[in-house]
Structure 1
Amino acid sequence: MKIITIVGAGQMACALSFPATQNGNKVRVVGTPLDRDVIETAKTTGFHTLLKRQLPSTGIEYYQIEDVNKALDGADVVICGVSSFGVDWFSDNILPIIPENIPLLSITKGMIDLEDGSMITYPQYFQSKLILNKKLSINAIGGPCTSYELADKDNSVVTFCGYDIDILRTLKSLFESPYYHISLSTDVVGVECAVALKNAYALGVSLAIGLTIGADGLGHEHYNSQAGLFGQSVKEMKHLLEIVGGGEENIILSAGDLYVTVFGGRTRKVGTLLGQGLSIEESIKQLKGVTLESIVIATRTARGVRVLAKRGIVKLSDFPLLMHVDNIINSGAAAVDIPWKAFETEKI
């Protein structure tokens, strides 16, 4: 039996408690300052108010943030369970107190663009935030997996990435199950960029949903247009993977994660609202209280690409869908007007 401490009572982090406890491990869930109600309810009833599922009835304990040191005592693995909006909080408050001998496994998807247009993954960002000379094994999870379906034990295929294959094998042994299938990769940049990019492009594909159902919501969802945007998304994501130096095989993670994201969740909702004609401000207002990581990653990626274009490293014309999404989100584009003509190619 191993002790797994989850910091951040998010949906995906807590969904991991199912395969973890099934394998006989002990799970400790620590809430952030924003998770107080989630932790209190789970502690008294076992119900996760955001995941909307009963968590495992045995092998799991709950802690408020004041008891984080107690939850870390004797732990074998720490899971970063915050959203991208909590990355800095985690870096400032949790990284410094994780002992060097305990590996970190992050579920947070996203990237950060730097001033020169380059983009780094959250594992790279965490590494940069470590205090001088501290060594910590930082690993992450990528792949097409929704928290709800993992909790329901639907077959899910993911990749654990990190720089030490032996540590990755140990982490895999804690979580693999008949329904949770884990590949391993030391290409951290490739895996993490692949799964981060899908949020931006899932928003783009979802524009087609709003366009076809219409402003009144009475139309029918069409799939030809979605498929066209899906294909263009994969093309642009593949190019972005090349730019960051990720292995091209990671495109299967981008495509798989894009597929599952378009079928439901927050990103589909905001893309659909934009396609129906709402402004980004109106869409965010309708989804009040919902974290919209897709807007963050789309903004950061487009900003990075624009800087790289100014430096002559890439061409904006190679990213027409990303640029259109960015114009809608950040430049006040009056309406969705998919640049279909820009997607056309001629191969001889």
Structure 2
Amino acid sequence: MEYKIGKDARCAVIGYGSWATAIVGLLAANEARVGWYVRNPEVLEGLRSEGRNPRYLADLEFDMERIAVSDDLNEVVRGADVVILAAPSAYLKDFLAPLTESLADKFVVSAIKGIIPGDCYKTVVEYIHDEYGLPYKQLGLVTGPSHAEEVSRGKLTYLTVVCTDPENAQVIGRKFAAPYIKLSYSTDLYGVEYAAILKNIYALAVGIAVGLGYGDNFLAVLIANGAGEVKRFLDESYPDARETLVSAYVGDLLVTCYSVHSRNRRLGLLIGHGCTVRSALNEMTMVAEGYFAADCIRHINTRHRVEMPIAEMVYKVLYQGASPRRSMKELIPKLI
């Protein structure tokens, strides 16, 4: 049986970080009313009293007549047809823990580029499918090279909407439409989601290399080899007639590796500069998804045995206490 999103479907956003805040800004420009689940008391009060998120993208001002902000998850979900997940993957279980409202008639969109850490080793889409019984036809992604800081300032951005049904993708796309947003569409739920997760690992590797003093010539080689690892992993784990030389795959990889806004690059940079992994994590003000992804992808790859020397190097540095400098030197002969 087909599942079609209605053209007047109501949207709600789960999360209060920078990306969630930027997404609410986009939706509020197109929708009469947007639900927003915010469990942080400081952020909730700031939105209600000043129409701003005091912790993330504080310059972005909201028309609160168009936003129904609440710390009651069930109330927010109950009033929505499309639920957009935009909390860090490491905390998604906690965010959804109070949920008793059924998702059976909802369409759930992940805007999260991370993997559920712990013992399940699942992507967000896989987790929602398994834990809440939603078929993949009721699951989608919004992704692409899209730092929240630039989206909130109206910088030209390319987003990709992924759904198994192209018509549903188009409906979701219209809700994210803006003069500075260029939209493309895909049905490759598996490939796009895993590419968005893997690129965080390679951004960490780039940050480590920069911190160690390697130059642009080497970084280009490192990123090119990272793109090759992404393609090999996708081709082996879920073969499909996908084209990875487009923005949702390689574009997202490039911006995460090069941008000053990249949390994962920043984490790698701190480690390359000599910080311990623990102290670098403590210095981060936002979640670097690549830290969890490195462990989860290594676990998943034990089934597929794809050659991924960069991802392996990052894992050893993060989780086995390997020397970043020595590990990078050992990696160099493995690159082409």
Q: Report the TM-score, using the length of structure 2 for normalisation.
A: 0.86
Name the structure 2 match of 1:217.
none
1:284 aligns with 2:286: no
Contact 2:114 2:123 in 1 (8 A): yes
Instruction: Verify: 1:255 aligned to 2:250, yes or no.
Output: yes
Residue 6 (1) aligns with residue 13 (2)? yes
Equivalent in 311, 330, 335 of residue 322 of structure 1? 311
* 1:93 counterpart SS class: coil
After the TM superposition, which residues 162-241 of structure 1 pair with which residues of structure 2 at under 5 Å, given as runs?
Answer: 162-212=163-213, 222-241=215-234
Structure 1 residues 256 and 102: alpha-carbon distance in aligned structure 2, compared to 1, 3 A threshold: same
Larger radius of gyration: 1
On the 8 A contact 2:90/2:292 being kept in 1, the answer is no
Q: Structure 1: 5+ residue runs without aligned partners?
A: 213-220
Gaps of 5+ in 2: 1-7
Give RMSD over aligned pairs: 2.6
Q: Alpha carbons of 1:10 and 1:335: their partners in 2 closer, same or farther (altered >3 Å)?
A: closer
Matches of 1:246 and 1:200, distance apart in 2: 21
* Cα deviations by residue, 1:175-232 (Å, 9 ceiling, x for unpaired): 22221222222211011111111111110111121012xxxxxxxx831121121111
Can you list the C-alpha shifts for 1:23-63, whole angstroms capped at 9, x where unaligned?
Answer: 2432121113xx22112112111222212322332553253
* 1:145-164 deviation line (CA, Å, top 9, x unaligned): 01111111111112111222
Distance 2:68 2:32 in 1: 15
Deviation at 1:322, TM superposition (A): 1.1
When residues 285 and 101 of structure 1 are mapped into structure 2, their CA distance, relative to the original with a 3 A threshold, is closer
1:42-57 maps to which residues of 2 (within 5 A)?
A: 42-48=47-53, 49-57=55-63
Q: Which residue number corresponds to residue 111 of structure 1?
A: 115
Secondary structure of 2:178 counterpart: coil
| Residue in structure 2 matched with residue 215 of structure 1 by the alignment | none
Structure 2 Cα separation of the partners of residues 55 and 326 of structure 1: 40
Q: What is the CA–CA distance in structure 2 between the aligned matches of 1:82 and 1:336, rounded to whole Å?
A: 33
Tell me, yes or no, if the aligned pair for 2:121 and 2:299 is still in contact at 8 Å: no
Partner residue in 1 for 2:37: 30
The equivalent of 2:264 in structure 1 is 267
2:294 maps to 298
What's the offset of the Cα at 1:134? 8.4
* Greater Cα shift, 164-173 or 147-156: 164-173
The residue type paired with residue 29 of structure 2 is Q
- Of 13-22 and 227-236, deviating more is 13-22
SS in 2 for 1:104: strand
| CA shift for structure 1 position 239 | 0.8
Supply the distance in 2 between the matched residues of 1:167 and 1:58 (Cα, whole angstroms). 28
Task: Specify the SS of the correspondent of 2:325.
Answer: coil
Aligned partner letter, 2:35: R
- Tell me, in whole angstroms, the C-alpha distance in 2 between the residues paired with 1:168 and 1:88: 26
For the Cα contact (< 8 Å) 1:161–1:168, is it kept in 2? Answer: yes
- TM-score, length of structure 1 as denominator length: 0.83
Deviations 1:213-271 (A, max 9, x none): xxxxxxxx831121121111111111111122154414532321122122123212111
* Counterpart Cα distance in 2 of 1:244 and 1:5: 32
Q: Which amino acid aligns with 2:256?
A: T
Aligned residues: 321
